[in-house]
Amino acid sequence: MTPFEGLLFFYIMGLMLLPGVILGLLGRPLKIYGLIFTAVMLTIVFYENGQLLLLCGFYVWQIVLCLGFSRVKNKTKTIFRAAVVLSLLPLLAVKLSAVFPELRLLQLLGISYMTFRAVQVLIDIYDGRTEKPRLLELSYFLLFFPSAAAGPIDRYRRFLGDINRTPGKEEYCELLRRGFWRLMTGAFSGIAVSGIIWAYWLEPLPGGGFMAGLSYMYGYTLYLYFNFAGYSSMAIGTAYILGVRLPENFNKPFLSADMKDFWARWHISLSTWLRDYVYTRFVMGSLKAKRFKNKRTASYIGYIITFAAMGAWHGLSPNYLIYGAYHALLMCVNEALDLHYKSMRKFKQGAVSRVLMAVVTFHFVSFGLLIFSGRLV
């Protein structure tokens, strides 16, 4: 059983959400029931996929690391880096399955998202934003069912603020209305629209030829957007019903004026995670240590590291790694143009020119997703 797919899944999830809805309408706390809902739904989904034992092992591994690290008195940089590497090991093993088929038995649904949430907690503990996480709250955050399989990637402190606050009846009614609407529109986008694009546009296309490749590029871009945005919307809608306001993941990405604008609108929770925990930390650390004579060098190398991590996060297959390198190059060029050509920044601000830039950006994005799809590699 795959989350947010099939009538049986929605039937089971609907039944499991009912007690939560009743509690919310009565103005009662939702945290404990949310934990129960998450545990039951994860058990059903991962048991059906034969991955429940792997999920339990992954959970214990991350919990021991996070709680253990939080109790270390002298959190040196070496200990911190070792904890992060250990947290990433299960994800690395899964990604290596693309290279070593014998590791495919270790594949785990949603491991990329759950790992980044665990790493985020470790970083927040090291930086002093989080002191000693509580077991139940940390478990709820790492395994929160609506976003377990496909995000969005939430932030620990923001998540705690939601689960430890009981919305009033009127506020919960609004959350319930918005949650139901996001579920319905998300299902229409992620299942119906993307399914039609796949069945009637992409699947009938021949395997070779320039025009077929061009058509596939446009079709796959739209397919991936409607599919991914739809599943994100369903996750957000389900979380609303449980009293949790998951962050948005898409904001009209095809209206982007350049690549920097695009990554502020597409897969927002991942791009901001990488910006805050990879790019910014590397750039600020480089400036503080004076690693480069030119300050802009740190930014360019930061983009290369960040988007290499983004590509590897999707997988270690050549198409994903090339996709990351492609976007690193685009971001470096984007920053160089903005830095050295003031006319470029002014050009983007005009009404007509912004439309033109949106068309150009869309084609850069679409070609990148063609690489991502594996059709070119």
Catalytic residue ranges:
314
Burial of 71 (0-12, 13-18, 19+ CB in 10 A): exposed
Q: In whole angstroms, how large is the CA radius of gyration of the chain?
A: 22
Residue 67: closest CA among 141, 131, 22, 5: 131
44: helix, strand or coil: helix
**Of residues 292, 297, 296, 325, the one with CA closest to residue 309:** 325
Alpha-carbon distances, residue 95 vs 10, 61, 153, 322 (angstroms): 30, 18, 19, 15
User: Residue 235 and residue 127: Cα distance in Å, rounded?
Assistant: 29
CB-count burial class (<10 Å; 0-12, 13-18, 19+) for 80: middle
What does each C-alpha distance from 362 to 204, 248, 252 come to in angstroms?
Answer: 24, 21, 11
Closest-CA residue to 256 (of 174, 187, 358, 349): 358
Q: Give the phi and the psi of residue 81 in degrees, each rounded to 5.
A: -65, -40
Count of beta carbons in the 10 Å neighbourhood of residue 22: 11
List Cβ<8 Å contacts ≥24 apart for 101-108: 106/54, 107/51, 108/51, 108/54, 108/55, 108/58
